[in-house]
Amino acid sequence: MVPEDQPHEPVPLALARLFAGLACPGRTTAALPPTLGGPLADLLAAFGIPVALAPCGARLALTVTGEAETTPASLTADWVTAPPWVRAAQAASTGAITVAIDGPAAAGKGTLARSLADALGLAYLDTGRLYRATGYSVLQAGGDPSDPAAAEQAARSLDTRVLADPALRSEAAGDAASRVAAIPAVRDALLAFQRQFARTPPDGAWGAVLDGRDIGSVVCPSAPVKLFVTASAETRAQRRFLELRDAGQDVIESRILQDMKARDARDSSRGIAPLVPAADAVVLDTSDLDRTEALAAAFALAGDRLRAAGSDVARASMSHTGAS
Ligand SMILES: Nc1ncnc2c1ncn2[C@@H]1O[C@H](COP(=O)(O)OP(=O)(O)OP(=O)(O)O)[C@@H](O)[C@H]1O
Ligand SMILES: Nc1ccn([C@@H]2O[C@H](COP(=O)(O)O)[C@@H](O)[C@H]2O)c(=O)n1
Q: 103-128: per-residue pLDDT in tens?
A: 999 999 999 999 888 777 789 999 99
Across the chain, what does the average pLDDT equal? 79
Angle at 154 between CA 150 and CA 159, to 5 degrees: 170
Per-residue pLDDT at 47: 62
Pick the residue with more confidence: 265 or 39?
A: 265
What separation in Å is there between the alpha carbon of 242 and the centre of ligand 1? 10
Predicted confidence band of residue 48 (pLDDT cuts 50, 70, 90): low
Q: Nearest ligand to the C-alpha of residue 266?
A: 2
In 3D space, the residue among 261, 252, 254 whose CA is nearest the CA of residue 175 turns out to be 261
Distances (CA, A) of 149 to 146, 154, 179, 180, 186: 9, 9, 13, 10, 9
- Mean pLDDT confidence for 199-212: 88
Asked whether residue 92 carries a pLDDT value surpassing 50, the answer given is no
* Closest atom of ligand 1 to CA, residue 111: 18
Q: Name the residue at shortest CA distance from atom 13 of ligand 2.
A: 128
The whole-angstrom separation of Cα 101 and Cα 302 is: 10
Q: Name the residue at shortest CA distance from atom 9 of ligand 2.
A: 128
What separation in Å is there between the alpha carbon of 72 and the centre of ligand 1? 39
Q: What is the DSSP string of 110-123?
A: HHHHHHHHHHHT-E
The whole-angstrom separation of Cα 62 and Cα 41 is: 7
Pocket test for ligand 2, best of 101, 112, 127, 229 (most atoms within 8 A of CB): 127
Given the cut 0.90, state whether the ipTM is greater than it.
yes
- Mean pLDDT confidence for 77-105: 59
Q: Which residues have CB under 8 Å from 244's CB, separation 6+?
A: 171, 251, 256
In 3D space, the residue among 255, 235, 270 whose CA is nearest the CA of residue 107 turns out to be 235
Q: Nearest ligand to the C-alpha of residue 135?
A: 2
* Closest atom of ligand 2 to CA, residue 110: 12
94 annotated ligand-binding residue: no
Asked whether residue 96 carries a pLDDT value surpassing 60, the answer given is yes
* Closest atom of ligand 2 to CA, residue 105: 14
Q: Nearest ligand to the C-alpha of residue 103?
A: 1
104 annotated ligand-binding residue: yes
What separation in Å is there between the alpha carbon of 295 and the centre of ligand 2? 21
